[in-house]
Amino acid sequence: MIYLDYAATTPMTDAAIAAYAEAAKAVYGNTSSLHDAGGSASFLLENARTRVAKKLGVNRDGIIFTGSGTEGNLLAILSLARVGERRHVIISAAEHTSVHAAMNTLEREGYLITKIPLDENGLVDIEILQNSIREDTVLISIQHVNSEIGTIQPVEQIAKIARQNNILFHVDCVQSFCKLPIKQFAKDVDAITVSAHKIGGPKGCGVIYMNPRKRTVPVFPGVTHERGLRGGTVDLPAIVAMVTAMEQFTYELEKFKLYRNRLKEILNDTGCIFIEAEDEQQLPSICGLCINGVEGQMVMLKLNEAGIGISTGSACDINSSSGTKAILAMGNSLSKARQFFRVSFGDGTTEEHIEKLGESLRIIGEELCL
């Protein structure tokens, strides 16, 4: 199969698999045990923590290993939002499902949630965000790169607004980690979420950065691992594999721009529409598309028959009947949202894959738009 669903997950690299196997075999002690086997495991864990902190440009004391990006978002948001007496949270309407799940929990606890729409380019409207701030606003949570359409949100600008208003700020960087600069805003935010399996690491492993200078309220009080924010023995082999993948990962921005532009050329005179921002605010490897009058699920199935794997949006929303959040957040109808499908490139993508995808989409459009 021609795999074009890298935004959902990436294959583990050979180096990450080898690192996982070696750690699982040779460093099997519990990182909390006081004997030599535990000490060796603890040394490896803390070394990994330092390396992730260096990559993000943050204090290593704030690095917390988690079981996924989803878990990371839930822990970070709930731990920050429950600090103090303020009960208002601002997010975008197009956040990842895990963020909306955290909002559902907070709403049941009496919090008021404001969901900011996206503009016609798929970007958060800064003016609306500023006007939504209240005296009791405790937290803003905005993703760096939208997982469905690949738009790059103005998180640096939002970080300044949050600081000026003494509001905590969490950024979901799952799609941007190792692809876009994060250091330039990392020290100005209070929490960051990243995940291993988007960069050639293992599934079931992620990281949150929690500003160690800020107070948090653990979701599960009384646990002892990871600064008391996440219980359970850490998965050291997965952590080692993640760090290995992180340090080897490269994102070929210009190559993916060429692939995106080539796909546009092939589809130029068809009914295929790209949902995107301007180049400087768009991650080129994530392409959100629609074919007028054709449901995205049908496009996905037809491409699958042609040996091409894509998705109809975030893998975490695959069972949703409401369409993609991003398209709806931009003010589009439910009908258009159901026409959405997503193509995403990665290390294994070639020019031949783009040509095959483009020609297949042309054929699908001709067949189904008659």
pLDDT tens digit string along 235-268?
999 999 999 999 999 999 999 999 999 999 999 9
pLDDT at 368: 81
Domains, the chain, ordered by start:
2-9+250-368 (3.90.1150.10), 14-248 (3.40.640.10)
Low-confidence ranges of the chain (pLDDT < 50): 318-319, 321-322
pLDDT at 321: 45
First-to-last C-alpha distance (Å) of the chain: 28
Question: By the 8 A CB rule, do 290 and 368 touch?
Answer: no
In sequence order, which residues have a C-beta less than 8 Å from that of residue 192 and are 6 or more positions away?
A: 56, 58, 76, 170, 171, 173, 182, 186, 208, 209
pLDDT at 319: 46
Is pTM beyond 0.85? Reply is yes
CA distance 276 to 41: 45
Question: By the 8 A CB rule, do 124 and 116 touch?
Answer: yes
pLDDT at 121: 94
Tell me the two tokens of residue 26.
């040779």
- Single out the residue of 163, 167, 200 nearest to residue 185, CA to CA: 163
Question: By the 8 A CB rule, do 180 and 153 touch?
Answer: no
Active site residues: 316
- Single out the residue of 353, 153, 177, 125 nearest to residue 258, CA to CA: 353
CA distance 295 to 142: 28
CA distance 136 to 44: 42
Tell me the two tokens of residue 295.
């449901």
Using one digit for the tens of pLDDT, what is the confidence trace for 78-89? 999 999 999 999
